[in-house]
Amino acid sequence: MQLDTIERLDTAALVSAAQEGDTVAWERLVEEFSPMLRARIRRFRLSHEDAQDVLQTTWLLAWQNLRSVEDGQRMAGWLATIAFRECLKLTRRTKEICTPDLDSLGSTDDVDRELARIWLAGTLAELVEELPAAQRVLFRALTETSEPHYVDVARRLGRPVGSIGPTRARCFAKLRGLLQAREITRDFLD
């Protein structure tokens, strides 16, 4: 299927066309999903070079495994999962935390807050890995965008809309328990 004559296709059609070898469809997928992937990768506070490497590796793995995608509407989640795993691999491999230029933050309190936030983000990523699979998948789906809609998340995950809220509540309760077990409370950052 050639996309030259088609104005706008949905993601599933683009994935299907790319699976058939249509390079224009693949380029559109890269163009459409790269901003989302960059945003997800930025959450790991990697250096610019490492973030670019993760992005390239994500797209390489996506290209190599594109035929395994059965539901093209789930492409965003699939790509986000690949990027997340690649970020985890990199951070585990290097065991380094990339911090901003602390001199630019100003006061010692600002520096302390920023370091605590970075540490907490890494800890949260570790704790998410400890969640049961269904909760972990839902957590990632809900945090992919700043304003997730339960209907969209339910459709992407193939779950009833009414199950999203209760599963989210169990997920967050489990995360709160894991944070409390590590004695991390709200006043940790204050």
More confident of the two residues 152 and 105: 152
**To the nearest whole number, what is the mean pLDDT of the chain?**
78
b/e burial code for range 66-102 (CB count within 10 A of at least 16 → b)? beebeebbbbbbbbbbbbbebbbebbeeeeeeeeeee
CA distance 17 to 14: 5
**Which tens digit of pLDDT belongs to each residue from 135-185?**
888 888 887 766 678 888 888 888 898 988 898 888 888 888 887 777 766
- pLDDT for 102 equals 47
- Weakest-pLDDT range from 21-30, 92-101, 153-162: 92-101
- pLDDT for 62 equals 94
- pLDDT for 31 equals 92
Structure tokens given for 104: 């630019």
Residue among 137, 147, 145, 144 at smallest CA distance from 171: 137
Over range 125-140, report the average pLDDT: 83
- pLDDT for 4 equals 42
DSSP of 142-182: HHSSSS--HHHHHHHHT--HHHHHHHHHHHHHHHHHHHHHT
Task: Give the count of beta carbons closer than 10 Å to the beta carbon of residue 44.
Answer: 22
**What percentage of the chain has pLDDT greater than the value 90?**
21
Over range 40-60, report the average pLDDT: 88
The model carries a pTM of: 0.48
The answer, yes or no, to whether residue 133 has pLDDT greater than 80, is yes
